[in-house]
């Protein structure tokens, strides 16, 4: 008897699955927690609306009413609970340890101390505490993803692989580091699906009630109803499984069914999952539909409905964090795929060490993209906020009394320190893509510096192509030729300081540039296009950079100083940029070249709607040539 107990203890102690699961959970926790501080800057436009700021409002006003109803009440209520039990006591402990005299000498004035030293000074601390709370929910999502996969497919190894894939997924990690509703939504969705997986094997009153409660919680996190479809499918299956018609009807309309609390595909492939995980998920889906039909079909119901809703029906993929909630279910499919890869290798390769080695290589290749992105993400988020770096640099380099062109939001974020704004008596003018963004325009506005927020450049290069079906990847070649990109590159040549994090670590990225004075010199004409004869009609149209075409005609009745002009016939461009290009002509190195053109519109066009500009291209050839182009691309498509 004693020997049996010892053997059982040793068996539990050296359970490989449990040990590996513990390692994965610890690694997942460390990956998530290390990227919290300093992490993302405190200027995310949506952070806290459904979390700490609403909970703080409820706490300070002693109410359960929300300050606004952008999101349901579940998340603020959860954070209010943790705020009362943990956040506020932690802030008191911090104040007591850092400034004990303030507390100990005013024990009879604790409400005033709280108001003056905690309530008015703790915005950032509350934000970080809520982010650490989000880390806890991220780890719980890992746990329930393991349990769900294990229960659905009756395999701890599939659950282990699921946890591994999810632990290193960039989107899952980043959603665990910000107080946004997506992380909570993902947790409650996988929780609901876990209970659903238990209901599949045990259709009792207990699990029907728990399913109703968990589905209600999932919906109350972000008003998304995706958990209802697999539940409905399972309930229908359980009803049809009954042997008699009466049994089918009784099960289908049973009182046990409760509903409580009903209240860019490319990006998904490349970034959210990565190609390796997509391949594993497809393997898992195919094999699962053959060997585990019901369990796989339940997962597929949710996944298919989710992707249809966000990718096709609502275009909700425009906000990538909407993909967070569905990632655990792809991790389950990927875990199922890894399980079948392992079984295949184990059955076809007699030498276990060779099979294990090949399997490790397959896992490494499949998760390489995720791990690489995750390393970049964590290392970048361990560095100071870009706004801190920029403030320090600007304060050292900006000259007294100068004029700075900046977007109002960027001005508020970066020039909120009196040492920069007030002490140096800076003047500000707005920077605007439609009217004052290029170097020449900012020179006309008498700007000395410009603060370029790279979000503007990125957004302008993202919106137009995302709604076109013929693009799988971002058309970088076209994007580089849009006005906002060309103007930004021209400004970057005079960069004073910049702070930019890689795309894996989303942040407020900036460049602070100086605006040189216009060159004052005597000009010599080297080439002119007067369009006063048919021989002058040598320009070509490049429509979207795909194929040459000509929509230019000579108009002998128009002209500036004499008759003759180039008339541009209206076109419908394939892309948000059209250019008309001149023949090349030779130039001399070391000289400054300037282009001037005169354009007449048939109807008056207000300044903010003017979208044409001139561009000079210096060609990299053995002989120095220059090309002049008229562009239209300023407005966002």
Question: How confident is the model over 382-394, as pLDDT tens digits?
Answer: 999 998 898 888 8
212, with CB counted inside 10 A (0-12, 13-18, 19+), is buried
Would the pLDDT of 256 be above 60? no
- The answer, yes or no, to whether residue 65 has pLDDT greater than 50, is yes
CB atoms within 10 A of CB 309: 16
Query: What token pair was written down for 310?
Result: 């966000």
* 397-449 pLDDT tens trace: 888 888 999 888 888 888 765 555 555 678 888 888 777 888 888 998 899 99
DSSP string, 55-67: HHHHHHTT-SS-S
pLDDT of residue 263: 27
Q: What is the mean pLDDT of the chain?
A: 81
Predicted local distance difference test score (pLDDT) of residue 470:
65
Predicted local distance difference test score (pLDDT) of residue 359:
94
Residue 305's pLDDT band (cuts 50, 70, 90): confident
Q: DSSP letter at 561?
A: S
Burial of 386 (0-12, 13-18, 19+ CB in 10 A): buried
First to last CA, the chain: 78
Confidence of residue 244 (pLDDT cuts 50, 70, 90): low
pLDDT tens digits, one per residue of 212-223:
888 888 888 887
Find, among 433, 491, 436, 482, the residue nearest to 462 by Cα: 482
Better pLDDT: 541 or 356: 356
Tell me what pLDDT residue 342 has.
93
What distance in Å separates the CA atoms of residue 137 and residue 182, rounded to the nearest whole number?
11
- DSSP-assigned letter for residue 417: S
- pLDDT greater than 50 at residue 257: no
Helices (H), 202-292: 205-222, 228-240, 245-252, 265-267, 275-291
Helix axes 156-167, 327-348, angle to 10 degrees: 130
pLDDT band at 149 (very low <50, low <70, confident <90, very high): very high
Percent of the chain with pLDDT over 90: 29
Average pLDDT over residues 445-470: 75
The pLDDT tens digits for 596-637 are 887 777 777 777 677 777 788 777 766 655 566 665 544 433
How many beta carbons lie within 10 A of that of residue 352, not counting itself?
10
From residue 543, alpha-carbon distances to 143, 189, 574, 582, 618 in Å are 53, 47, 7, 14, 21
pLDDT at 205: 82
Q: Rounded to whole angstroms, how far apart are CA atoms 346 and 500? A: 47
d(CA 174, CA 39): 10
- Going by pLDDT thresholds of 50, 70 and 90, the confidence category of residue 565 is confident
Q: With contact defined as beta carbons under 8 Å apart, do 186 and 327 qualify?
A: yes
Structure tokens at 4: 């049996």
- C-alpha neighbours within 13 Å on the C-beta side of residue 333: 28
pLDDT at 260: 31
pLDDT for 328 equals 92
pLDDT tens-digit profile of 8-30? 544 545 688 999 999 999 999 99
Considering the entire predicted model, what is its pTM?
0.75
Count of CB atoms situated within 10 Å of the CB of 429? 16
Q: What are the angstrom distances between the C-alpha of 157 and each of 107, 193, 195, 290, 461?
A: 57, 19, 20, 19, 43
Within 13 Å, how many C-alpha atoms sit on residue 410's CB side?
Answer: 24
**pLDDT tens, position by position, 535-562:** 666 777 775 545 445 666 777 777 777 7
Pull the structure tokens for residue 243: 């042997």
Q: What share of the chain has pLDDT > 70, as a percent? A: 81
Q: Is the pLDDT of residue 533 over 90?
A: no
pLDDT tens per residue across span 569-578: 766 666 667 7
**Token representation of residue 334:** 């990927």
């Amino acid at each position: 008897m004693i020997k049996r107990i010892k053997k059982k203890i040793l068996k539990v102690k050296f359970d490989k699955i449990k040990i590996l699961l513990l390692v994965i959970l610890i690694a997942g926790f460390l990956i998530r927690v290390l990227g919290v501080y300093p992490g993302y800057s405190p200027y995310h436009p949506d952070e806290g609306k459904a979390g700490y700021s609403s909970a703080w409002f409820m706490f300070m006003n002693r109410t359960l009413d929300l300050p606004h109803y952008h999101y349901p009440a579940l998340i603020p209520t959860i954070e209010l609970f943790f705020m009362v039990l943990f956040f506020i006591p932690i802030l008191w402990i911090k104040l007591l340890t850092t400034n004990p005299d303030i507390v100990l000498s005013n024990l009879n004035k604790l409400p005033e101390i709280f108001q003056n030293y905690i309530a008015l000074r703790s915005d950032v601390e509350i934000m970080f505490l809520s982010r650490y709370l989000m880390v806890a929910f991220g780890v719980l999502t890992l746990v329930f993803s393991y349990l769900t996969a294990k229960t659905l497919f009756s395999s701890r190894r599939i659950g282990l692989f699921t946890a591994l894939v999810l632990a290193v997924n960039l989107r899952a990690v980043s959603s665990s580091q910000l107080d946004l509703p997506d992380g909570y939504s993902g947790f409650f969705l996988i929780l609901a699906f876990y209970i659903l997986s238990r209901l599949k094997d045990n259709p009792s009153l207990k699990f029907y009630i728990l399913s109703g409660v968990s589905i209600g919680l999932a919906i109350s996190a972000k008003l998304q109803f995706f958990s209802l479809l697999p539940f409905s499918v399972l309930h229908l299956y359980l009803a049809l499984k009954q042997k008699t018609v009466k049994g089918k009807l009784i099960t289908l309309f049973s009182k046990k069914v409760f509903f409580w609390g009903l209240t860019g595909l490319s990006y998904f492939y490349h970034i959210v999952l990565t190609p390796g995980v997509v391949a594993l998920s497809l393997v898992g889906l195919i094999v699962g539909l053959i060997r585990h039909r019901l369990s796989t079909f339940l997962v597929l119901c949710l996944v298919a409905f989710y992707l249809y809703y966000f990718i096709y029906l609502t275009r909700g993929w425009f906000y990538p964090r909407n993909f967070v909630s569905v990632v655990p279910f792809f991790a389950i499919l990927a875990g199922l795929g890894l399980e079948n890869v392992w079984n295949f290798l184990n059955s076809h390769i007699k030498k276990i060490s060779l099979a294990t080695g090949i399997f490790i290589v397959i896992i490494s290749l499949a998760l390489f993209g995720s791990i690489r992105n995750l390393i970049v993400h964590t290392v970048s988020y361990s560095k100071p906020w870009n706004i801190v770096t920029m403030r320090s640099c600007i304060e050292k380099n900006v000259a007294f009394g100068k004029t700075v062109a900046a977007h109002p939001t960027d001005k508020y974020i970066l020039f909120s320190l009196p040492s920069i704004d007030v002490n140096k008596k800076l003047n500000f003018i707005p920077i605007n893509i439609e009217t004052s963004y290029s170097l020449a325009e900012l020179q006309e506005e008498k700007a000395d510096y410009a603060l370029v927020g790279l979000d503007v450049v990125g957004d302008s290069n993202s919106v137009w192509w995302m709604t076109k079906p013929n693009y799988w990847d971002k058309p970088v070649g076209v994007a580089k030729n849009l006005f906002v990109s060309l103007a930004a590159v021209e400004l970057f040549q005079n960069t004073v300081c910049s702070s930019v994090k890689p795309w894996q670590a989303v942040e407020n990225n900036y460049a602070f540039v100086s605006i040189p004075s216009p060159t004052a010199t005597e000009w010599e004409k080297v080439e002119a296009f007067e369009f006063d004869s048919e021989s002058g009609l040598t320009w070509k149209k490049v429509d979207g950079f795909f194929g040459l075409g000509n929509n230019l005609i000579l108009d002998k009745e128009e002209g500036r100083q004499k008759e003759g002009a180039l008339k541009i016939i209206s076109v419908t461009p394939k892309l948000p940029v059209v250019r008309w290009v001149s023949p090349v002509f030779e130039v001399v190195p070391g000289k400054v070249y300037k282009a001037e053109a005169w354009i007449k519109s048939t109807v008056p066009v207000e300044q903010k709607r003017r979208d044409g500009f001139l561009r000079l291209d210096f060609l990299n050839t053995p002989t120095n040539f220059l090309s002049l182009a008229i562009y239209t691309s300023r407005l966002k498509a």
